[in-house]
Amino acid sequence: MNKRKFGILLPVSSLPSEEGIGTMGKSAYQFADYLHGVGGSIWQILPLNPTNYGDSPYQSCSSNALNYYFIDLHLLKEEGLLTQSEIDTADLGGDKRRVDYGKQFYNKTALLKLAFSRFEKDKQFYDFVKGGEYADFAVFMALKSKFGHRPWTEWEQPYRDYNEEVIQKFIAENTDEVEFWQFTQYIFLKQWKKLKAYANGLGISIMGDIPLYLAYDSVEVWKYGNKLFDMGEDRSPNSVAGCPPDAFSDDGQLWGNPVYDWKKMQADGYKWWKQRIADCFKVYDVLRIDHFRGFDRFWKVPPTDKTARNGKWGDGPKAKLFEDILDKQIVAEDLGVLDEGVYKLMKDVGYPGMKILEFAFDGSPDNEHKPSNHTKNFVCYTGTHDNMPLLQYFTDLDEWGSKTFIADLKKECALLNVTPNCTTPKAVVDSVVELAFASKADTVIIPVQDLLGFGKEARMNLPSTVSPDNWSFRLKDGELDKELSDRLTGLGKKYSRNNVN
């Protein structure tokens, strides 16, 4: 990561397509071509895990499974597993700007089952199944199907409590359903490996993302319970995850995920976590770890509380978990409530952290997010998937905030030899993007919304809310146009971030 470069944050789900959601098909290859053409070398995406209630990739039912919504149906047609008519007549959502996850859940899954009915189960497939990497996910999803997709806590016995003998009997009696869910992973990886190889051939690295926590309704909680998590024998949580009250929220954020029992994990050298990270590097070139500060200390909240206000800090594994993988290309999401423990953890592991320009222009010369205060070993962003698009943030500021933002922006531009343009809100956004390119940070990643100067309508996620507007934003065909291409190419060359093969 120690070479000047830039990339674009664009989730797979946000790619244009005719299938109601971004896929690993034509538009993914077109985006790789576009990124290469403008000199970019990193494509950052969000977690590829299957989404759960609320559609968040950070609330997944599995730590390692892959989101079958991203399977490209037209590539399945090329394999003779679907017809064009079957794809055309399926209602996968007609809104080019928004994903309809309900239609993906029902109608895309039905199409994948149709494709599976025509799939020839050859030796390669059975070797994949025998490998067992996705066996737990396949059984879990087959059981969910059996029980009307209800959470595992509502399954009938003997399935609610994981039992190996019961599971093997279930597999034998439901082989086709279990193999279907294996098929979703097999096909995903087949399409993904081709796409990733294509991007890598253009000099583009894929930066993936790993959530710190899992959903309560997940394979791991169902199977392992208190062997991995802070919970009782009955798998009821002793505490749940969140973050403490701060300047942005008097109540903090209550996420509700089960938290890990780090003391038990320490006994085998954090084997489960190390395997999880190793699995990620089979899929990604670079890995961003979400809520990295949680490895130092984490906020745990009584499970019956309605806010995170009454939580308390618990100790995480600190740098011990990472001592064998310090050479990996990992980016630590080190945002939020920081203290000396987090700074020590970051120093001990040496991974680059993140700086967010949306937080930078507050009038304080000591603000660590200001480009003039950056050092090399960071990734500079204008914003993340959880922030407002920069245009929305700027236009929502009050008079004092707006004047402070502009004054600070002009000072920063002067320090980094950038010519600011503050004539319109869109021009302000473009100036902040240029400042990111001018930063000392080795790597710059810009969310596609900020490159295009989109506002409120393009926000990816509003934290701690469940809404059809979360995680559903999509690009439309043609929005990554020549004007943007020329601008990015120019910025990359001007600030020595152009990817030259």
Do the Cβ atoms of 274 and 324 come closer than 8 Å? yes
Cis before 158? omega within 30: yes
Q: In which residue are the tokens 């090399």 written? A: 376
**Residue 245 DSSP SS3:** coil
Tell me if residue 290 is catalytic.
yes
Cα 5 to Cα 42, 82, 204, 319, 415, distances in angstroms: 8, 41, 11, 27, 21
Catalytic residue chosen out of the listed positions 136, 333, 358, 442: 333
Tell me if residue 327 is catalytic.
no
Cα 234 from Cα 49, distance rounded (Å) = 26
Q: Which two tokens stand for residue 325?
A: 């993988």
Cα 391 from Cα 402, distance rounded (Å) = 12
Cα 338 from Cα 364, distance rounded (Å) = 17
DSSP-assigned beta bridge partners for residue 7: 42, 445
Q: Which residues lie closer than 8 Å to 31 by C-beta, 6 or more apart?
A: 10, 15, 43, 480
| Complete DSSP assignment for 211-226 | -S---SSSHHHHHHGG
Catalytic residue chosen out of the listed positions 209, 261, 290, 358: 290
Strands (E), 316-472: 330-332, 353-356, 378-381, 443-447
Catalytic residue chosen out of the listed positions 33, 285, 386, 469: 386
Q: Which residues are catalytic?
A: 290, 333, 386
